[in-house]
Amino acid sequence: DVKVTQSSRYLVKRTGEKVFLECVQDMDHENMFWYRQDPGLGLRLIYFSYDVKMKEKGDIPEGYSVSREKKERFSLILESASTNQTSMYLCASTLTQGRTSGDYEQYFGPGTRLTVT
Amino acid sequence: QKEVEQNSGPLSVPEGAIASLNCTYSDRGSQSFFWYRQYSGKSPELIMFIYSNGDKEDGRFTAQLNKASQYVSLLIRDSQPSDSATYLCAADSGGYQKVTFGIGTKLQVIP
């Protein structure tokens, strides 16, 4: 019943390191997302992708980049990790059936808790 | 700044009661609205999606949308202790892909 998986549940990195977070979905969803979740700030969109090799910035893209070389895989890259990037990172994928059908399918991965020291 | 506002709670209701969770949004252009349930230490789970004014029911859950008042609510009938979680409201802000989340309301169902 695995739907969205993330490469690590917990990760500890040092300031300045390059960090890769991977997300894989097995539902053939076209859209994939990276969010971070912080207490008091809620979920905030970092980047999303609506197709292979396509990406769009979300609300807080600074300090991050993404890669989507295959439909099922969406990677988040922290080019040079900083302490303010300590957070819970959540990947999600969605399948939009169309507004008139009333269907919208979305699943989140289990999250990666990243600590940057 | 497009915003989705929720009272962070906690909202406490007795078992068997109706829990009413509320949310307002600032972007009049928002078309689609979402409710998620998030248990402590877990990732969010989509439980309701609504885009038409009025009510949408799914089991014990009813989502209500009033676009004129920019107001979305979630009613949980016959609340159970297992419903204790944080409920996130979200609204699209540029299509399905860009969704703005509220900070969530923590619900506690008291046995």
Q: What is the pLDDT of residues A56-106, one digit of tens each?
A: 999 999 999 999 999 999 999 999 999 999 999 999 999 876 555 556 788
Q: What is the pLDDT of residues B3-34, one digit of tens each?
A: 999 999 999 999 999 999 999 999 998 988 99
Q: What is the pLDDT of residues B30-79, one digit of tens each?
A: 988 999 999 999 999 999 999 889 999 999 999 999 999 999 999 999 99
User: Which residues of chain A have a CB within 8 Å of the CB of B63?
Assistant: none
The two three-digit tokens of residue A42, written as one number = 């809620």
Dihedrals φ, ψ of B81, to 5°? -55, -30
Percent with pLDDT over 70 in chain A: 92
Q: What is the pLDDT of residues B84-108, one digit of tens each?
A: 999 999 998 766 677 899 999 999 9
| pLDDT at A98 (0 to 100) | 55
In angstroms, the separation between the Cα of residue B78 and the nearest Cα of chain A is: 25
Quote the CA–CA distance of A89 and A38 in Å, as a whole number: 9
In degrees, rounded to 5, the angle at the alpha carbon of residue B33 between the alpha carbons of residues B31 and B37 is: 170
| pLDDT at B95 (0 to 100) | 65
Q: Say if strands A10-13 and A112-116 run parallel, antiparallel, or are unpaired.
A: parallel
The answer to whether residue A33 neighbours chain B at the CB level (below 8 Å) is yes
Q: What is the pLDDT of residues A20-46, one digit of tens each?
A: 999 999 988 889 999 999 998 889 999
Q: What is the largest CA-CA distance in chain B?
A: 41
DSSP string, B37-101: EE-TTS--EEEEEE-SSEEEEETTEEEEEETTTTEEEEEESS--GGG-EEEEEEEESSSTTSEEE
Interface of B with A (CB under 8 A): 31-32, 34, 42-46, 49, 51, 88, 90, 96-104
Quote the CA–CA distance of B58 and A10 in Å, as a whole number: 35
The two three-digit tokens of residue A40, written as one number = 């008091």
Which residue shows structure tokens 């014990």?
B60
The answer to whether residue A90 neighbours chain B at the CB level (below 8 Å) is yes
The answer to whether residue A93 neighbours chain B at the CB level (below 8 Å) is no
| pLDDT at A100 (0 to 100) | 54
In angstroms, the separation between the Cα of residue A79 and the nearest Cα of chain B is: 23
Partner-chain contact A43 B45, CB within 8 Å: no
| pLDDT at A63 (0 to 100) | 97
Partner-chain contact B96 A41, CB within 8 Å: no
The answer to whether residues A64 and A49 touch, using CB atoms and an 8 Å cutoff, is no
Dihedrals φ, ψ of A84, to 5°? -75, 0
Residue A2 pLDDT more than 80? Answer: no
Three-state SS across chain A? CCCEEECCCEEEECCCCCEEEEEEECCCCCEEEEEEEECCCEEEEEEEEEECCEEEECCCCCCEEEEEEECCEEEEEECCCCHHHCEEEEEEEEEEEEHHHCEEEEEECCCEEEEEC
Quote the CA–CA distance of A102 and B6 in Å, as a whole number: 24
